[in-house]
């Protein structure tokens, strides 16, 4: 019975991930919000040390999220909790930065970036709580919200880094 549940959770995880990616690459014709308004991506003027902190955060998130999806599909709750906490603790504004670097971050980061990043890390913490309760359905919801956060942020702030988003017009909403 447990094996069936794990397989189902794995399949659902892949389906939800696929649907979210498809959703973000579609033109969102059915939304009431005005779409496809061309907005220039904000250019963040990273200092070398803040850029290093961002790269460190993104590397940790990517590694842990990939492991998290696999662990979630297998129902390995202890590892899901660990991955979620690792993602939560990678929060750029919570890293051990000098006072000067922290001041630079607050000066250069747009408010929208900070809000999106904060929400993403909050979802990681909520996923850890769901995993602690062994609530696969809720954990799956938060893993999807995390992926949505990645895609939304990259569409706005990293178009130059991700070729797939470079020709996309910015969506004017988040889920």
Domains assigned to the chain: 2-166 (1.20.120.10)
Give dist(CA 10, CA 2) in Å, integer: 12
| pLDDT computed for residue 123 by the predictor | 98
| pLDDT computed for residue 162 by the predictor | 87
In the chain, pLDDT over 70 holds for what percent of residues?
A: 69
Higher pLDDT, 8 or 83: 83
Instruction: Note the pLDDT tens digit of each residue in 21-30.
Output: 444 444 444 4
- Read off the pLDDT of each residue in 132-140 and give the average, rounded to a whole number: 98
Question: What does the mean pLDDT of the chain come to?
Answer: 80
pLDDT at 31 over 60: no
Tokens 């399949």, located at residue: 11
| pLDDT computed for residue 45 by the predictor | 87
The torsion of the CA quartet 157, 159, 160, 164, rounded to 10 degrees, works out to: 150
């Amino acid at each position: 019975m447990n094996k069936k549940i794990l397989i189902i959770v794995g399949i659902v995880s892949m389906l939800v991930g696929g649907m979210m990616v498809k959703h973000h690459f579609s033109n969102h014709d059915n939304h009431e919000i005005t779409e496809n308004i061309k907005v220039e991506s904000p250019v963040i003027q990273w200092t070398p040390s803040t850029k290093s902190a961002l790269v460190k955060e993104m590397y940790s998130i990517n590694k842990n999220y990939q492991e998290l999806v696999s662990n979630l599909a297998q129902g390995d709750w202890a590892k899901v909790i660990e991955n979620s906490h690792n993602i939560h603790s990678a929060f750029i504004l919570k890293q051990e930065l000098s006072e000067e670097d922290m001041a630079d971050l607050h000066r250069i980061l747009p408010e929208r970036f900070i809000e999106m990043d904060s929400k993403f890390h909050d979802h990681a913490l909520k996923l850890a709580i769901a995993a602690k309760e062994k609530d696969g359905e809720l954990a799956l919801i938060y893993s999807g919200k995390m992926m949505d956060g990645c895609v939304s942020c990259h569409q706005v702030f990293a178009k130059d880094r991700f070729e797939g988003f470079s020709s996309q017009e910015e969506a004017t909403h988040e889920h």
